[in-house]
């Protein structure tokens, strides 16, 4: 029986990654080898963002903006899908601690703590009036953001930007029975289309019942896959498995 050739679902035209001490995809391999020893210096944000807006960016938001800036040309806007397991949960904890201390909360602090806070800052800083979706992917990990992007592409968008990001959460939040925490904060931006130059990828459901956990822990091995020689990568959690293949 002849094998049915796989068809690419989309093309990865470009991508960027940022983590503390890492400012481009070129240094990812070395970063992975010594991630725990790298200093936690904040990345520089794009120069076109006004200083007033820069001061509103959390360390996680700075990572996100740095990764995005590696994929966009100056003044360019694209439909964008943001995906994060926790969002700005660190800021939410700060607010809870302020309430416990009897301090007043500012509306600005609240607006910067919600799950779509970084997407809102992005839309303002990049003057992006195109469709922006913000997801909390749950047990399916990285895959829902890709499915959302494919839907936008099938509806006529020429290219879509997917932004995946998370940071370690404080010990205040119980982790058991799930290992939700990543080793380090990380943001990955991917520029996707249905054609053109780049890496052709096929996405499908996988039967494996691996224990890769949720998005924060799936993100580093997926970047390993993008930059490495392996032609496929499977990620799953609690029976919800997905496979990416380079075509």
Tell me which residue range forms the domain holding 117. 10-204
The pLDDT assigned to 81 comes to 98
- Structurally, the chain folds into a number of domains equal to 1
The model's pLDDT over 62-94, given as tens digits with 9 standing for 90+, comes to 999 999 999 998 899 999 999 999 888 888 888
The pLDDT assigned to 155 comes to 96
| CB-CB neighbours of 94 under 10 Å | 16
Crossing angle between the packed helical segments 59-69 and 117-125, to the nearest 10 degrees:
50
CB half-sphere exposure, 193, CA atoms < 13 A: 12
Residue 235 in any domain: the answer is no
Residue 222 in any domain: the answer is no
| CB-CB neighbours of 78 under 10 Å | 23
Residue 138 in any domain: the answer is yes
**Terminal Cα distance for the chain, rounded:** 21
CB half-sphere exposure, 75, CA atoms < 13 A: 0
Phi, psi of 227 (to 5 degrees): -95, -15
Residue 23 in any domain: the answer is yes
Here the CATH number for the domain that contains residue 136 is: 3.40.47.10
The pLDDT assigned to 1 comes to 47
The model's pLDDT over 22-72, given as tens digits with 9 standing for 90+, comes to 889 999 988 887 754 555 566 788 888 888 889 889 999 999 999 999 999
The model's pLDDT over 231-243, given as tens digits with 9 standing for 90+, comes to 988 887 776 788 8
Measured distance CA(148)–CA(151) in Å, rounded: 5
Residue 229 in any domain: the answer is no
Distances (CA, A) of 193 to 130, 145, 231: 16, 14, 19
The pLDDT assigned to 2 comes to 45
The model's pLDDT over 153-191, given as tens digits with 9 standing for 90+, comes to 999 999 999 999 999 887 777 766 555 678 889 999 999
Residue 51 in any domain: the answer is yes
For residue 125, what is the enclosing H or E element? helix 117-125
The model's pLDDT over 200-230, given as tens digits with 9 standing for 90+, comes to 999 998 876 665 677 888 899 999 999 999 9
pTM of the model: 0.89
- Best CA proximity match to 153, nearest among 202, 116, 195: 195
- Best CA proximity match to 153, nearest among 43, 4, 1, 12: 12
Q: Are 11 and 193 a contacting pair, CB within 8 Å?
A: yes
């Amino acid at each position: 029986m002849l094998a049915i050739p796989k068809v690419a679902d989309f093309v990865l035209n470009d991508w960027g990654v940022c983590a503390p001490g890492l400012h481009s995809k070129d240094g990812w391999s070395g970063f992975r080898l010594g991630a725990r020893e790298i200093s936690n210096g904040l990345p520089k944000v794009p120069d076109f963002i006004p200083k007033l807006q820069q001061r509103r960016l959390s360390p996680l938001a700075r990572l996100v903006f740095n990764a995005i800036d590696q994929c966009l040309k100056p003044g360019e806007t694209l439909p964008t899908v943001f995906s994060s397991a926790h969002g700005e949960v660190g800021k939410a904890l700060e607010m809870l601690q302020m309430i416990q201390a009897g301090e007043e909360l500012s509306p600005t602090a609240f607006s910067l703590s919600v799950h779509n806070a970084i997407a809102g800052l992005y839309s303002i800083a990049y003057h992006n009036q195109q469709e922006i979706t913000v997801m909390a992917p749950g047990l399916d990990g990285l895959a829902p953001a890709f499915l959302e992007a494919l839907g936008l592409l099938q509806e006529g968008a020429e290219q879509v930007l997917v932004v995946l990001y998370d940071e370690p959460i404080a010990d205040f939040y119980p982790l058991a029975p799930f290992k939700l925490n990543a080793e380090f904060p990380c943001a990955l931006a991917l520029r996707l289309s249905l054609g053109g130059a780049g890496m052709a990828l096929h996405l499908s459901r996988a039967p494996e019942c691996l224990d890769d956990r949720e998005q924060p822990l799936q993100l580093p091995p997926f970047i390993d896959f993008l930059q490495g020689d392996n032609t496929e990568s499977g990620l799953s959690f609690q029976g919800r498995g997905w496979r990416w293949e380079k075509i």
